[in-house]
Chain A
Amino acid sequence: MVCGNMAGLELLSDQGYRLDGRKASELRKVQARMGVFAQADGSAYLEQGNTKALAVVYGPHEIRGSRSWIRHDRAVINCQYSMATFSTAERKRRPHGDRKSTEMSLHLKQTFEAAVMTQLYPRSQIDIYVKILQSDGGNYSVCVNAATLAVIDAGIPMRDYVCACSVGFVDETPLADLCYAEESGGVSSLALALLPRGGQIALLQMDARLHQDHLDALIEAAMTACKGVGKVLDEVVRLHLKEVSVLTGE
């Protein structure tokens, strides 16, 4: 039986355990807090395993800077993704402005334009800034999850949560929520952002090679994983609401 391996590491052992002891469809531990900054309109901190991200939302406010991207019928969402210089094993030379960050910012923008009800705020701008504090795989997914909580904290109307998760395909088995060692181990990975209640896909990203017969199984596994993340985010939001209402004496 051939295991997908790189330098002798077994990504999926014979008993079905992964490098960090998880089963194939098990997600990493998700911990999150909303409202971490008082000065921003909305903010959230989210950890998924060892990947930690901070998301901050400002808006909706008047469009500043260039007037060329004013939309008369809806709000413009401006996303910026950046990684802290200390987030990776080797000190990151260029935290933002490089091609990967620009691409990630664009993906985040597309994801949130699908979920946020932008037509309620014509001619205005919503800023979403996400910073990765520690990177251990699944950067895009953690960003989307953190940004969802921050947008909810800011009180911007959304159709539904946006939950994201990455999945990989090893030994005919889909692995949910990849860590860095698995991602760099040559696994065909796919990142999916989902609106869990309607089952609608906001963004699907894949840049590896995968046989088309395996695609359906992989997408199914991704959707299940996203719904699992969605349940955790739901609990965090409800807990935060209860805490805030206790403080305001409602």
Chain B
Amino acid sequence: MPPMKLCVPGDKLCSVENCIPGTGVFLRHGYIYSSLAGYVLKKNEGEELPVISVVRETETQLLPDVGAIVTCKVTSINPRFAKVHILYVGSTPLKDRFRGTIRKEDVRATEKDKVETYKSFRPGDIVLAKVISLGDVQSNYLLTTAENELGVVVAHNEAGAQMVPISWCEMQCPRTHIKEFRKVARVQPEFLQA
């Protein structure tokens, strides 16, 4: 494999007619410039122009973006919303926790006004959610679990044992068989490990 080309911020890579800009680059006056110090990667995707991007060995900090699926941990609940710490964006762990909010009306898609947060989440639950908004000055990231694949994935009951989901709204402890209410995520089979 030919050695990859090194580049530094401000290096002119190519013209916008030859390549499509990817990550780590920016456009200026019809030319593509590098914005990171790293290696130039050119990927050919079909008949379109190749995508040019600059990669580093260590991945830079990823920020949750609108529409991204994030994994978060519930820190506190309230009749109106639940506060969470965002831990992973997609499958990339974040170095630093970001704070998010799941409002009562974003917990489910149906019967939004009859939702009780106490019956959907509890502090300490691991939840899969989607970012709907970056929020404004006062608020944190706004998240939603109003889809079948979103919701609680790991939860512990009041005794501390990990519970098993039995339906979209209930989880059961395997030892005491006590059921507790949660808004459970229907995880796709390919993501489950045997």
Give me the interface of A with B, judged by CB distance under 8 Å: 41, 59-62, 67-68, 70, 72, 117, 121-124, 152-161, 195-198, 234, 237-238, 240-242, 244-245, 248, 250
Q: Is the CB of A59 within 8 A of B134?
A: no
Are A124 and B63 also in contact (CB < 8 A) when A72-B136, A158-B35, A248-B57 are? yes
B60 at the interface (CB under 8 A from A): yes
- Contact mask for chain B residues 112-139; partner A; CB cutoff 8 A; 1 contact, 0 none: 0000000000000000000000111110
Q: Which residues from 77 to 135 on chain B have a C-beta closer than 8 Å to any C-beta of chain A?
A: 95-99, 134-135
Closest to A151 in B: B9
Closest to B135 in A: A123
Give me the interface of B with A, judged by CB distance under 8 Å: 4, 6, 8-10, 24, 26, 33, 35-39, 56-61, 63, 95-99, 134-138
Are A237 and B37 also in contact (CB < 8 A) when A62-B98, A157-B24, A248-B57 are? yes
Q: Is the CB of B134 within 8 A of A123?
A: yes
B62 smallest CB distance to A (angstroms): 10
Q: Is the CB of B134 within 8 A of A72?
A: yes
Of the candidates A67, A68, A195, A248, which one forms a contact with B10 in the assembled complex, judged by CB atoms under 8 Å apart?
Answer: A195
Q: Is the CB of A160 within 8 A of B63?
A: no
20 A–B contacts, CB within 8 A, in A order: A41-B61, A61-B95, A61-B98, A62-B96, A72-B134, A72-B136, A117-B26, A117-B35, A122-B63, A123-B134, A155-B59, A157-B9, A158-B9, A158-B10, A159-B26, A159-B35, A237-B8, A241-B6, A242-B6, A248-B57
A232 smallest CB distance to B (angstroms): 13
A residues less than 8 Å from B60 (CB atoms): 154-156
Q: Is the CB of B37 within 8 A of A152?
A: yes
Closest to A68 in B: B137
Of the candidates B37, B59, B63, B135, which one forms a contact with A241 in the assembled complex, judged by CB atoms under 8 Å apart?
Answer: B37
Q: Chain A CB within 10 Å — which of B6, B8, B26, B56 has the most?
A: B8
| 6 nearest A-B residue pairs (beta carbon) | A160-B10, A157-B35, A155-B60, A61-B96, A158-B9, A197-B10
A164 smallest CB distance to B (angstroms): 15
Q: Is the CB of A238 within 8 A of B8?
A: yes
